[in-house]
């Protein structure tokens, strides 16, 4: 058989070799760190035999698939440790996630920090035992009998939902066996560092109607040094938590009167308005027109858009004049009504319509998280209506805009192409056309991308942009979704060169994603120390004595006239105290005004990052500050 490797080299082997056998042939060093395989795009166990010509990628901890296999095995180690400590515990599910793993468990005993420490120690014992993970399969009826004998009622439910002719896979390590599709690493001994991070409540299968389970989160690594680095990053992340900094910097708050509905304070509104102003200027430059559509629209509209059938559980409803209405969870149907309000010629296309639209989506209370996960947020939506031959150029235009926006804040990012989900609308032909168009645009731009199978929107495939912040964490923000379905459902058309009606193609896209979430990301990325152009207060002017107050008033008037956001601090406090307080408030520049400065008409300048910059003429300082603001220096 011929095996094509990641570098496109081709090796020939006899049929029946495993991924591990091939790794050993390539390099003993590679075999030592190999965790799983990717055969023809599917992640597999490293002991999986290959019996035909295949593309093979050997996965290590540096690869996402390798990490997932490592952390999936770690979740089994966690479950085994829990069963040793609490034999009466019932196990639900334990997947790998983006940063580690968790396991959902039913047990009457509430897990305490001491319990987590004891479970962690037991996990390290299991690691030391170096137990081999062995896969076996059973027909559905035998599998049901097996888990019933184990007393694992949640596993019984999972298997019962599978078709009768299913073959069910399990993994065994020592005395412990778990229902699992895999893949897993060879043995528990590869795990060198373990840390259980927290316990949270989680409803079985995510439904409030089901029992609340205990979810233990953990992280593991193949090297102890990696765990140390990760825990250091977590400590830094705690300091940067946007909820903590939001309170301390008086940017926003979340109140009991509206869980998941954030309140923006004056300083938070400065940041928000600056982002929206920048958005409007850039969109105007790129040929977009801005609209505003209603928050509440009737049931018929949401049936037509498909949201009533595909998104109802996330929506809020009301009745007006005995008719059903819904609060909009997305802006797109409103844009389509605006487009349809008058007839269009092919000569007008593409038509680019943008909206900073407030949307509402129902989130479970346990999922709410500061500004990252809220129940109402503003999406910087835009919808582009175009001719089929304009698709690629329009997608490339959006990609260029996204790049400009993210570069402004110093973000690196990676791209994922998400394909058709199971619950989707439209024909396979339309989906293939749409997916190919997105792929071609990415390839023409020379952008590396990852395929995210089955994660598209219900009406079309999409490109997602994942930002990387200064701690290396990623956040999904921008998206480009190509849609052949909504124009059909809303009967949108244009008059072509032949005088006949034709259906436009539509792009849905956001760049910030959610303004609220983007602000949260910025708070954590900059640790609240925003660049000068984005800082709610750009300069604080502080007096040493009351004799400085009149001069400070003149300075503040000049700042106001120049649209510089300044605050004065003329309290009867020591200057050292005022400076420390301004540093805590993360103000970029501080001006200290004493008798000498009043006499000379100068200002003593301190920088948030560079400390004392010496004495300057006020005009010199203003010119320096305005240059930073205009250039949007990071």
For residue 224, pLDDT beyond 90: yes
Bond from prior residue into 350 cis (ω within 30 degrees of 0):
yes
- Residue 341 scores a pLDDT above 90: yes
Check: CB of residue 103 under 8 Å from CB of residue 94. Answer: yes
| Average predicted confidence (pLDDT) for the chain | 93
**Pick among 3.10.290.20, 3.10.20.30, 2.20.25.90, 3.30.1370.30: CATH of 2-60:** 3.10.20.30
Instruction: Report which of 80, 267, 258, 291 is spatially closest to residue 171, judged by C-alpha positions.
Output: 80
Mean predicted confidence (pLDDT) in 362-368: 84
For the domain bounded by 252-290+343-525, which CATH number is listed? 3.30.930.10
pLDDT at residue 208 above 90? no
Separation of alpha carbons 238 and 234, rounded Å: 6
| CATH entry 3.40.720.10 includes domain 65-238 | no
Q: How large is the average pLDDT for residues 477-493?
A: 89
What is residue 413's predicted lDDT score, i.e. its pLDDT? 92
Residue 585 has pLDDT above 80, yes or no: yes
Mean pLDDT of 393-422: 92
- Tell me the C-alpha distance between 70 and 67, whole Å: 5
Distance CA 371, CA 477 (A): 13
Please check the confidence at residue 526 and state whether its pLDDT lies above 80: yes
Write down the domain spans for the chain: 2-60, 65-238, 252-290+343-525, 532-631
Please check whether residue 361 is in contact with residue 330, taking contact to mean a CB–CB distance below 8 angstroms: no
Residue 311 pLDDT? 86
pLDDT at res. 502 = 95
Which band of pLDDT confidence, cut at 50, 70 and 90, is reported for residue 206?
Answer: confident
Share of residues in the chain with pLDDT > 90 (%): 78
pLDDT at 458: 76
Give me the pLDDT at residue 126, please: 97
What does the pLDDT read at residue 618? 95
Q: What is the pLDDT of residue 242?
A: 95
Q: Do the Cβ atoms of 588 and 606 come closer than 8 Å?
A: no
Q: Where are the alpha helices (DSSP H) in 574-615?
A: 575-584, 595-600
What whole-number percentage of the chain has pLDDT above 70?
100
Answer whether residue 216 shows pLDDT above 90: yes
- Could you tell me where the beta strands, DSSP code E, fall in 153-244? 167-173, 176-179, 193-203, 212-221
Give the right CATH number for 532-631 from 3.40.50.880, 3.40.50.800, 3.40.50.2300, 1.10.287.1770.
Answer: 3.40.50.800
Question: Tell me: the pLDDT tens digits for 95-115?
Answer: 999 899 999 999 999 999 999
Q: What is the DSSP string of 344-404?
A: -BGGG-SEEEEEEEEEE----GGG-BTTTB-SEEEEEEEEEEE-GGGHHHHHHHHHHHHHH
Q: Which of 210, 90, 250 is nearest to 156 (CA)?
A: 90
| pLDDT in the model for residue 291 | 97
Burial 315-339 (b: 16+ CB within 10 A, else e): beeeeeeeeebbbbbbbbbbbbbbb
User: In this structure, are residues 569 and 578 in contact, taking their beta carbons and an 8 Å threshold?
Assistant: yes
- Residue 538: is it exposed, middle or buried by C-beta count within 10 angstroms (0-12/13-18/19+)? buried
Whether the per-residue pLDDT at 424 is higher than 90: the answer is no
Task: Catalogue the active-site residues.
Answer: 332, 361, 379, 381, 383, 462, 508
The partner residues of 6 in beta bridges, in order of sequence, read none
pLDDT exceeds 80 at position 574? yes
Residue 316 has pLDDT above 80, yes or no: yes
Helix (H, G, I), strand (E, B) or coil at 311: coil
3 state SS of 300:
helix
* Over residues 485-499, mean pLDDT: 92
Q: What is the mean pLDDT of residues 401-422?
A: 92
Strands 449-452 and 462-468: unpaired
What's the rounded mean pLDDT across residues 414-434? 85
Q: What number of other Cβ atoms are within 10 A of residue 115's Cβ?
A: 19
Q: Is the pLDDT of residue 459 over 80?
A: no
Least confident of 37-46, 218-227, 252-261, 494-503: 37-46
In this model, does residue 425 exceed pLDDT 80?
Answer: no
- The pLDDT assigned to 60 comes to 94
- Summarised one tens digit per residue, pLDDT across range 141-181 is 999 999 999 999 999 999 999 998 899 999 999 999 999 99
Q: What is the pLDDT of residues 66-86, one digit of tens each?
A: 999 999 999 999 999 999 999
β-partners of residue 416 are 450, 464
List the beta bridge partners of residue 541.
568, 591
**Could you write out the three-class secondary structure of 455-487?**
CCECCECEEEEEEECCCCCEEEEEEEEEECHHH
Residue 357: both structure tokens together: 């639209």
pLDDT band per the 50, 70, 90 thresholds, residue 608:
very high
């Amino acid at each position: 058989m011929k095996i094509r490797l990641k570098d496109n080299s081709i090796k020939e082997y006899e049929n029946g070799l495993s991924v591990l056998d091939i790794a050993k042939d390539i390099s003993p060093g590679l075999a030592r760190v190999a965790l799983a395989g990717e055969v023809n795009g599917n992640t597999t166990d490293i002991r999986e035999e290959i019996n035909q010509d295949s593309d093979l990628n050997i996965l290590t901890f540096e690869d996402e698939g390798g990490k997932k296999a490592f952390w999936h095995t770690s979740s089994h180690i966690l479950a085994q440790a829990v069963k040793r400590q609490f034999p009466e515990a019932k196990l639900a599910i334990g997947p790998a996630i983006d940063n580690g793993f968790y396991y959902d468990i039913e047990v009457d005993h509430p897990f305490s920090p001491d319990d987590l420490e004891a479970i962690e120690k037991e996990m390290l014992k299991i690691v030391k035992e170096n137990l081999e993970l062995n896969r076996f399969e059973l027909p559905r009826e035998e599998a049901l009998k097996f888990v019933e004998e184990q007393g694992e009622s949640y596993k019984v439910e999972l298997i019962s939902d599978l078709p009768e002719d299913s073959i069910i896979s399990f993994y065994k390590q020592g005395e412990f066996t778990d229902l699992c599709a895999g893949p897993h690493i060879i043995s528990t001994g590869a795990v060198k560092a373990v840390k259980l991070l927290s316990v949270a409540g989680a409803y079985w299968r995510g439904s409030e109607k089901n029992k609340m389970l205990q979810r233990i989160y953990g992280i593991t690594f193949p090297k102890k040094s990696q765990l140390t680095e990760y825990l250091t990053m977590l400590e830094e992340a705690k300091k940067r938590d946007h909820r903590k900094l939001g309170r301390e910097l008086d940017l926003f708050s979340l109140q009991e009167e509206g869980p998941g509905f954030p309140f923006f304070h004056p300083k938070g509104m400065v940041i928000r308005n600056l982002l929206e102003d920048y958005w409007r200027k850039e969109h105007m430059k790129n040929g977009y027109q801005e609209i505003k559509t209603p928050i509440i629209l009737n049931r018929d509209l949401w049936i037509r858009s498909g949201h009533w059938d595909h998104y109802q559980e996330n929506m809020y409803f009301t009745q007006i004049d005995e008719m059903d209405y819904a609060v909009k969870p997305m802006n797109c149907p409103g844009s389509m009504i605006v487009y349809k309000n008058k007839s269009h010629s092919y000569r007008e296309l593409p038509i680019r319509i943008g909206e900073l639209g407030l949307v509402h989506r129902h989130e479970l209370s346990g999922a709410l998280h500061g500004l990252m996960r809220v129940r109402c947020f503003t999406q910087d939506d835009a919808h582009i209506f175009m001719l089929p031959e304009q698709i690629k150029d329009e997608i490339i235009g959006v990609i260029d805009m996204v790049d400009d926006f993210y570069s402004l804040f110093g973000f690196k990012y990676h791209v994922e192409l998400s394909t058709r989900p199971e619950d989707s609308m439209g024909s396979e032909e339309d989906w293939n056309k749409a997916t190919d168009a997105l792929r071609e645009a990415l390839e023409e731009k020379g952008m590396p991308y990852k395929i995210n199978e089955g994660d598209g929107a219900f009406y079309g495939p999409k490109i997602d942009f994942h930002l990387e912040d200064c701690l290396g964490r990623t956040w999904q923000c921008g998206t480009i979704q190509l849609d052949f379905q909504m124009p059909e459902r809303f009967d949108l058309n244009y008059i072509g060169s032949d005088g006949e009606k034709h259906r436009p193609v539509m792009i849905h896209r956001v760049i910030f994603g959610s303004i609220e979430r983007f602000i949260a990301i910025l708070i954590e990325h900059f640790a609240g120390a925003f660049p000068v152009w984005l800082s709610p207060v750009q300069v604080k002017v502080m007096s040493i004595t009351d004799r400085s107050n009149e001069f400070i008033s003149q300075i503040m008037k000049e700042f106001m006239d120049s649209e510089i956001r300044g605050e004065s601090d003329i309290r009867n406090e020591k200057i050292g105290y005022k400076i420390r307080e301004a540093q805590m408030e993360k103000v970029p520049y501080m001006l200290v005004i004493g008798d000498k400065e009043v006499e000379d008409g100068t200002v003593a300048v301190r920088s948030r990052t560079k400390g004392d910059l010496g004495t300057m003429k006020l005009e010199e300082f203003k010119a320096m500050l305005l240059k930073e603001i205009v250039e949007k220096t990071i």
